[in-house]
Structure formats: structure tokens, C-alpha cells
Structure 1
Amino acid sequence: MEIDDLVKDDAPVLVVGGCGYLGSHIVLALLHSPSYSSVSVINRTIQNNRHPGALYYAGDIAKEYDVRSLLDRIRPRVILHVASPSPSANKKTQNQINVQGTEILLKYATESPFVRALVYTSCHDAIEIDPENAILTEEAATLHTNKSNATPYQKSKANAEKVVITANSWSLRTVCLRLPPIYGGGDSQVIPELLEIMAQGKTTLQIGPNKKVFEHVYIDNAVHAHLLAAKVLLSLDEGLDLRIDGETFFITDDGPMPWYDFARKVWYAAGDRTEPEWIRVVPMHLALATASVNDWVGWTVTLGRRRQEFTSGGMAKLKKGTNFSIEKAREWLGFEPLVPCEEGIRRAVERALEGADPDRLVLRG
């Protein structure tokens, strides 16, 4: 029997953080799904990325009154918790939203007689990365701790994961989805940042040997995984003999590649025609030294309030890479990437260049 056959068509669903990039795409997909009777959104601000048919509520998950009153009003059967601050936000903000907000949401979801399941959007930053770039499974991965040499964002996402998994019970079933950087049409980070590098004429610059592979996930694939997880969790009520609750899952395009390989696919799709012999390689140790100085200068100038773009942390990530297995998601969730990476890049760049002057990128690139 298919999962869709087991999920009743009267389940209200709530997306926390549904006005963000991933959240708004999840909302749109839910609106087109026959499995849910209503789609509601809680977001701090509800002016952006709205879809007709969804119900929007302004609220802060770090405030108990907001969460309690809105859950009583919405009465969702499943919650998709996508809310998270930017990785560059300060420590206080990270802990307020990722940790305290998640704890409050879980507290009242557990107390609610209506909520049966919660899917939490985690990320690869929550775990220690294998320095050898070996393929990591969920069982082999280690979460950051408060003592880890990690950013406030990384620690807060790890702590949130622990809270979500600990809260799993028969009355409230929880799962965590660990995502690498998300790209796609309209994304504000991956594709725009790469196109800006191209516009600055830096496509001939390469830091390090470009050997370690990295993971990405196209927006449609990320959305697909969330809907699958929600359906499987709800299907436990209907007799599905597959216990995914209390588990974590890596979700990727299943197409790991060196960072500059991915970047060059984006640049090529945008019109760049840099030849291999034009590439200038900066040794990693020099890049790390420069980034360390930039860390110190940035901290001194801003008193630690703002993170710098070219940091030792960023260089360390480039040095390590990311390589995850999605076999568990395949077997337990039935997940398979809907859109291959090459097609995802083509779509994302096409969307990014809509209304733009492509000659600006090519001439400066």
C-alpha cells in the first residue's frame, strides 16, 4: 500500500518559518497536496513569500504565549519546523530561535491533543565533518557540542537536533532532516553569491586543489523530502509498519562534487567560458592565513557583532568538504532526488538571470 493511501485527507499542517525560502516552497507544495485540509504558517513577519490559500499568522516561537495560543487556534496534526536565523546572526539570536524556540514549540506540541508529528529542518553544519572527506552516514556522524570548535549557529543547530530527537514519543513523533546548502530559483545565497564572483571577474581564481567533494540540494528535492517525512510520520497512525520517528536523515542531490566543479557549472550556465589553462590556484595554507587575519580585523572593527565573508571558518569548510550518504532516506522515507543537479543548476541560473543583463556577467567575468 502506498503512503499516500494511508494518510487521511483531513490533516491540518503548520509550517513554522513558512515565509522563508525553503518554508515558502514547502507551503506551495502542501497547497497542491490532497493530504492536507489546511496549510497554516507562523512567521515573525508575514509580508513576504505568501501563497493564496495558506493561512498566515505573525508569531515568535521564542515567546510561549505566541506558540501556545497559535497552536490552540490552528490545531495542526503535523508541524514542519523550518524556522532558523541566518548563520551570521549572533549567538543570542541563534540560541533564542534554534534552541529556546524549538524547546517551546516542542513543549506545547507535546501538550496539544491535536499535534501528532513534527519534522525539523536541521543542516550539515550541526555535525562534525570528516576531515578525510569520507562518506558519512547518520550513524557515523557526530553532533557538535557546546565545547566544539564551532560557530554559534552550528552549536545551536546541533542542540536543537538533540532537543527534537529527545522529544520523540508515541504521542509526538519527531524526525530531523539534515540538509546541505540549498540552491534553486530565487535563492538568496548559493546562486547569487556565485554569480557575484563571476561578475567580479574571479572565475579564474581557485583556492586549494579542488579535491574534496561537497554536497548541495536543489530546492524541489529539499521540499520533497519534507513532505515524505511528514507523510510517513502521519502514516504510523494508519498502521504503516515503519518506524522513522526519533531518527535523522541526510538529504542531498546525491551528486557530490568538488566545490569549484559546482561553481563552474553555475558560471557556465550563466555564460562564462573560462578555459582550464586560465585558472590560477592559491595554495590553501595562504588562503587560511589571510582568512585568519581577516577574522581578527573583523572582530576588532565590529567588536564581534558582524561576521566577515572571508573567514578561517569558511576556509576550513573548503578544506574539509562534505560527503553524505542518503541511503537511509532512500530506504526509510522512499526519498529519491526529483531533479538532478545539472538540471537544478540550469533552472536556478535561468531564474536568476531573468530580467538581468547577461553581458554584465560575461564582460566582467
Structure 2
Amino acid sequence: MISRDNLRILVTGGGGFLGRAIVQALLTQHETWRISVLDLKPPDHDILTRLEHFFQVDVRSAASVNNAFVDYIPDLVIHTAGIIPARQKRYSTRKEDWEHVRSINVDGTRHILDATLASGCKLFVYTSSCTVVIDDLNHDYYYMDETVPIGLANLHYGKSKGIAESYVLDPRHATERGLVACALRPATIIGPGDTAVMSLIHDLIAKGETSFIVGNGDNIYDFMYIDNAVHAHLLAVENLLTTRTAAGEAFFISNCEPVYFWDVFAYIWAQFGHVPTFRVRIPMGLAWVAALVAEAVTWVTGKPSTLDTGSVADGVRTHFSNNEKARRVLGYEPVVGLTEGVKLACEVSIETYEL
């Protein structure tokens, strides 16, 4: 096993929401470890000054990635770098949007893993996503676990993460090149400063759209507080450094608290002092027609709308995960409850989440 003294850990995407939090936790909990970041965007100055290296790299470029490893050999890589299509891009069917997502999430992951192995590093933690399963909009997924097959995702993000995860966990990398890797599949992550999920929910207040529930409102969903996602990643690191029982495996991780989807929205709005005066349930059929109209208006005017057929289909589904495998192999247990996590996420200034 690798000596734990002065370990070299590389975090790709260390300037992003999850990557930044992982880097901060590593710096705090492992003061003797030498932490480096590879990202197109530099991390905050207070983190940057504590890093061994910062590599400003576009993961879409194999040459750029390879250059970062020329004189640098990490002991372990945590690959969080990627793009999450937001808002209307989330449900896009445009080929151009797919190519952009694929170039970062699929090609970027391939470039990072290939360069990692070429450098001599064998330990790799990949941040996958629950969307490798749930981005199949045609089905609900109750208490899904790792036996559920991937490859059915019809949205760009889940499709790209599934392809990348399959590349990382390809057994040939382990047998032919000695790779010791695992993949984590976080649920939807929220936390202070999150501009992907929290801002979208907050926007509905300004748009006057908080009184509407699509469908019957009884669909259940998984959310996850940022500290729990970070905790799971550090447990994965510890496992690969010691027992390596996680090698070759994927793990669903969440807050282990499935909740009613629309109740979470209402609770978040309440933290900002907003309580809808009434609630109206919109039948699925009517919502679908309205979404088609909204998409037509968007196509004509070019102005984005909140509603589209993708968001309607997504907003009425149930999907939540079984975290038993992560508990058994990694020792994972959430460290922050969802109620507390939502409150913490909403304690930042309201301006953070405004349109």
C-alpha cells in the first residue's frame, strides 16, 4: 500500500461546486497531504495559496491534460471535472448541445484517466451521477441500487456520465494496467452557493410560479447536502488507499432521506420568507400541452421558459436510491440531515440565487 505521509492528491474540477468542497476538506483533514487542482477555472485565492500545484487545463484537450502530468505524478486522482447542463439545456435534444457535453464529460474523462495511468498513478475516484439511471425519463426508479442497468439515459447529462463511468470501470484497465478505481453516483446536490439547483427553485418565486404542482404531487425524490457528497468521496479515497474493497465498483450516495419532490420546493421557498397562498395541481395532460406551447413560444421568440416537455416529464417521476452498498463497503452515513442542509444552503445571501 502507498505510504500515507505526504500523499499527492489531484482533484480535477477543483474550482467547481463539489470539487472545491472536496479540496477544502482534504486541506483541512489531511494537513500533510499535498493537494493539487486541475481545472479551467482557478479555485478561490484562499485555496489556491495552499495548493501544491494548480494546472489550468481544458480537459477537452488531450495534449493540455498530458502536459499537466509531464513532471507530476499523483498518488491518487479524484475526477470531479464535468459539465452539468442547466435550465433549458438540461432537457435539450440538440446535437450541438450533446457534442458539447460529450466533449467534456466523456472525452475529458478519457483524457484524464489515460494521462493518470500513463503517469504511473493507479488510484482513481470518479464522480459519476445518479443520472446514469434516472435520466431515463420513461421510467420511475424506486429504491434503485447498483444492479439496475445503465445505458438507458435519454438526457445528455446522464448519457454522458454513464459512458464515462463505463470507461473508468472497464475491467481491462484493471487487468491490463493495474487501475484501482471506483465511481460515486451522488443524488442531486444542494449547498451554500449552489447555482444549479437552488437558484432554479428560487427563480420560481420571482416568476410567480410557486403555486403550481405538476401531477398529483406524490412523487418522491432524492436530494443530497454537499457535505455528505464530500464525506463519501473522502471515504472512497480512504478505501482505495487501504482495503481497496471498492475497486471496480459504483456506489449510489444520497442523504438517505427520500422526500416528496414538491415539499422540498415549498420548504426552500419558506427559508426565503415565501409561502404560496394557494396550491393548484395541474393534470399531467394539461401540463404537457402547456409545455408544448411554451416550447413553441421559445422557438419563435428565443426567450427561455421554465416549462418544457422535459421538465414536465421529470417533475412527476419518482426516483430515489438504496445506499446499502455504500454503507457496507465504504462505511458511508450522511453527516448532515436534509432539513439542516436546506437551511444551511439558504443562509447565503438571497442575491446568490436571484435571476
TM-score by length of 2: 0.87
- C-alpha separation between the residues in 2 aligned to 1:110 and 1:267? 46
The 1:320–1:152 alpha-carbon spacing in structure 2 relative to 1, beyond 3 Å, is: same
Aligned to 1:138: 146
Structure 1 residue 309 displacement after superposition: 4.1
Cα offsets for 1:52-77 (capped at 9, x unmatched): 30232111222222222212333111
1:327-342 equivalent positions in 2, closer than 5 A: 327-342=324-339
Aligned to 1:169: 174
1:1-365 equivalent positions in 2, closer than 5 A: 8-34=4-30, 37-46=33-42, 51=47, 52-54=49-51, 55-87=53-85, 88=89, 90-113=97-120, 115-128=121-134, 131-139=139-147, 141-144=148-151, 150-166=154-170, 168-169=173-174, 171-235=178-242, 240=243, 243-274=245-276, 278-298=278-298, 309-353=306-350
Cα offsets for 1:120-148 (capped at 9, x unmatched): 11112211558344211111x22125xx5
Structure 1: unaligned runs, 5 residues or longer: 361-365
Please give the secondary structure, in 2, of the residue aligned with 1:39: strand
Identity of aligned residues (%): 29
The 1:36–1:92 alpha-carbon spacing in structure 2 relative to 1, beyond 3 Å, is: farther
CA contact (8 A) 1:120 1:164 kept: yes
Aligned to 1:363: none
Query: In the alignment, residue 146 of structure 2 is paired with which amino acid?
Result: E
CA contact (8 A) 1:133 1:212 kept: no
- C-alpha separation between the residues in 1 aligned to 2:315 and 2:184? 23
Please give the secondary structure, in 1, of the residue aligned with 2:36: strand
The 1:132–1:172 alpha-carbon spacing in structure 2 relative to 1, beyond 3 Å, is: closer
- C-alpha separation between the residues in 1 aligned to 2:352 and 2:9? 35
Structure 1 residue 292 displacement after superposition: 3.0
The 1:159–1:261 alpha-carbon spacing in structure 2 relative to 1, beyond 3 Å, is: same
Structure 1 residue 91 displacement after superposition: 1.4
Please give the secondary structure, in 2, of the residue aligned with 1:155: helix
The 1:152–1:351 alpha-carbon spacing in structure 2 relative to 1, beyond 3 Å, is: same
- C-alpha separation between the residues in 2 aligned to 1:49 and 1:69? 24
What count of residue pairs does the alignment treat as equivalent?
339
Please give the secondary structure, in 2, of the residue aligned with 1:73: coil
Cα offsets for 1:244-294 (capped at 9, x unmatched): 11111111111111111111111122222446xx21111122112222343
Query: In the alignment, residue 307 of structure 2 is paired with which amino acid?
Result: F
Structure 2: unaligned runs, 5 residues or longer: 91-96
